[in-house]
Amino acid sequence: MDKESHFLEINNSEKIWAIGSIHSRLNAFHSIKEHLLQKFEEEDCLVFLGNIIGLGKESKETLSSVIDLRNQLLAKFFLNPSKVIFLRGAQEEMFLKLLQLQTAPNPQDVVLWMFDRGVDATIESYGFKKKDALNISTQGTLAISKWTTRLNKAVSANPGHKQYFTNLKHAAFSESKKILFLNRGVDVSRPLSAQNDCFWWGYQNFSNLKHPYNSFVRIVRGYQSSKHNQLQHAKNKIVCSLFQQPLDNTKIIAGLFDDSGNVIDLFESNQSSYMHINNA
């Protein structure tokens, strides 16, 4: 993957699949995975919109299953690796910071803040205990460095995991510049190249965007905090959020779009099956 740019342009793909926040829902993801393995075609592209990990107990296993899907698609269609894109979500951002906890000026506060937001479930899936991490965070730089070294080694021991965290993109967009994919939000007052971390932390009133952002007539994102997401009206909105609150629901929402920003299909998983969303 191209590590030199935070953004990736999707070329030569008329159909683009996008998967919203998975949050370690392994069983639900399996149904989305099977659907994609049946319906994905040679010229298609797939974008994971961030938050693959976090909150649920099976972060490690879910990420392995996602990487397996990528490998199957690449092998089946001889795809260019850039045709399967991984975006950074808040969960990935926090976990990456945790892997470098020894550099934090206030490590205990950082750990407590992250664990309140579901990162503890991710470290536990790699075999680390929440109480040990909290204890280590009070013991100084050397002790924390030893702990983060062990955590980094645990991540690297799983095929593809280290490469996943190393190659996350901030956003992706179609060759036509009409559809933009991101995790949570964008500051519409700034060009794409001048954005900050609102990609995964969000931007005020972004859901209510009424006009295209630059040339982008459709923005597809993988997470939103609002409980009022009416996907059945997605065709008439600039922002299409492939996520529904509350955080503890069992659904994963995915969609299929063309490179001009049109919604071809929206569908959701509910544990072991998937269903189409009406009027998509």
Question: Where are the chain's structural domains?
Answer: 7-88+168-276, 93-156
Instruction: Please state the rounded mean pLDDT for residues 95-113.
Output: 97
Please give the backbone phi and psi of residue 221, each rounded to the nearest 5 degrees, phi first.
-125, 160
Instruction: Please state the rounded mean pLDDT for residues 22-49.
Output: 96
When pLDDT is cut at 50, 70 and 90, the band that residue 157 belongs to is very high
Class of domain 7-88+168-276 (CATH, top level): alpha beta
More confident residue, 54 or 248: 54
pLDDT digits (tens, 9 = 90+) for 7-31: 999 999 999 999 999 999 999 999 9
Q: Which residue has the tokens 């069992």?
A: 250
Terminus-to-terminus CA distance in the chain, angstroms?
32
When pLDDT is cut at 50, 70 and 90, the band that residue 229 belongs to is confident
Separation of alpha carbons 106 and 102, rounded Å:
9
Residues 6 or more apart in contact with residue 227 via CB below 8 angstroms: 244, 245, 246
When pLDDT is cut at 50, 70 and 90, the band that residue 207 belongs to is confident
- Taking 80 as the threshold, does the pLDDT of residue 230 lie above it? no
Instruction: Please state the rounded mean pLDDT for residues 85-91.
Output: 98
Cβ contact 218:261 at 8 Å: yes
